[in-house]
Structure 1
Amino acid sequence: MSRSRNLTPVAIEQIVSILDGWSGKLTWDLLIQSVARRLRGTYTRQALHKHERIRDAFTLRKKTLSISVGGKKAISPESQVTNDRIARLEGENQRLQMENDRLLEQFVRWAYNAYSRGLDEQFLSRPLPAINRQQTP
């Protein structure tokens, strides 16, 4: 069996998207199977778990699914599609909120560290240097 390619940011985004729309029982094995079908590559639980976005999205979705388990009434297929879309969007919204909170915490940490080094907002807001994109001879 050959080794699958490394997980790229695009692949990680696709896996997180799979988790956002997940309904029913969620296990690492089921996720691995779904990822294999979608990305045409097999990854181990350890490979997926190593990426913080995947690990956090998995944990959040698992928690959300365990809370929402209950009796379901028979509904029309159109309503089921709508309910599935709403559930996927709610899952995505929760994950994005969690990622945003983490980034805000990181920004506060960076701001404190910059302040403790005597760097002011004016210094930190300077534009990046221009990149010379001309080809070398």
Structure 2
Amino acid sequence: MDLAKHLTQTDVEAIISIIYAWKDEKLTWESICEASEPIIGKNPTRQSLNANKLIKEAYSSRKATLKVQGVVTPKPSSLTMAGDRIARQQSEIESLKQKNSALLEQFVIWQYNAYKYGMKENQLNEPLPRIDRERTE
């Protein structure tokens, strides 16, 4: 058994795809590890998956969706409608990927500038100030 200490970006994307396509109502870290092995060529550990923020967010999101909705398989009334829906969703996915990429690029710029100007992580993570809406001036 090959343990995954480091996951590549391609591995992470493949694992996230596995999670979002999960059809079974029972979603566990172990089942994702098993399903990942044939795709990425290694059996990642539960800990390595849980340590990756993007995978963890996908897992939490899918788990919550399955808990609320169960496994949903929408059935279009015709193949034409199904094809249209798939085309629209693929277009939306590509758009969201581009937006996500742009946001990640912006984050890298902010991260570099924060480092360059000496900002500390705790300063960046400070909560927003609370707005007092009952204040009169």
**Which residue is 1:127 aligned to?**
none
Letter in 2 for 1:69: G
Alignment check: 8 A CA contact 2:2 2:44 kept: no
Per the normalisation by structure 2, the TM-score is: 0.52
Flag as ranges the 4+ runs of structure 1 deviating above 2 A: 1-6, 69-72, 102-107
| Aligned CA-pair RMSD | 4.3
1:69 deviation in Å? 2.2
Letter in 2 for 1:59: S
Q: Could you tell me how far apart the structure 2 residues matched to 1:71 and 1:4 are?
A: 32
**Which residue is 2:63 aligned to?**
62
Q: Could you tell me how far apart the structure 1 residues matched to 2:50 and 2:72 are?
A: 31
- What is the total number of aligned residue pairs between the two structures? 109
1:19-65 CA distance string (max 9 Å, x none): 11112221111111101122221111001111111010000010111
Alignment check: 8 A CA contact 1:16 1:57 kept: yes
Q: 1:66 to 1:47 in 2, by over 3 A?
A: same
Identity of counterpart residues, as a percentage?
Answer: 24
Paired residue secondary structure (1:23): coil
Higher relative contact order (CA closer than 8 Å, sequence separation 6+): 1
Q: Could you tell me how far apart the structure 1 residues matched to 2:69 and 2:7 are?
A: 31
**Which residue is 2:19 aligned to?**
19
Answer yes or no: is 1:33 the counterpart of 2:37. Answer: no
Paired residue secondary structure (2:61): helix
Instruction: Name stretches of at least 5 consecutive residues in structure 1 with no aligned partner.
Output: 73-77, 118-137
Instruction: Name stretches of at least 5 consecutive residues in structure 2 with no aligned partner.
Output: 74-78, 119-137
Alignment check: 8 A CA contact 1:5 1:41 kept: no
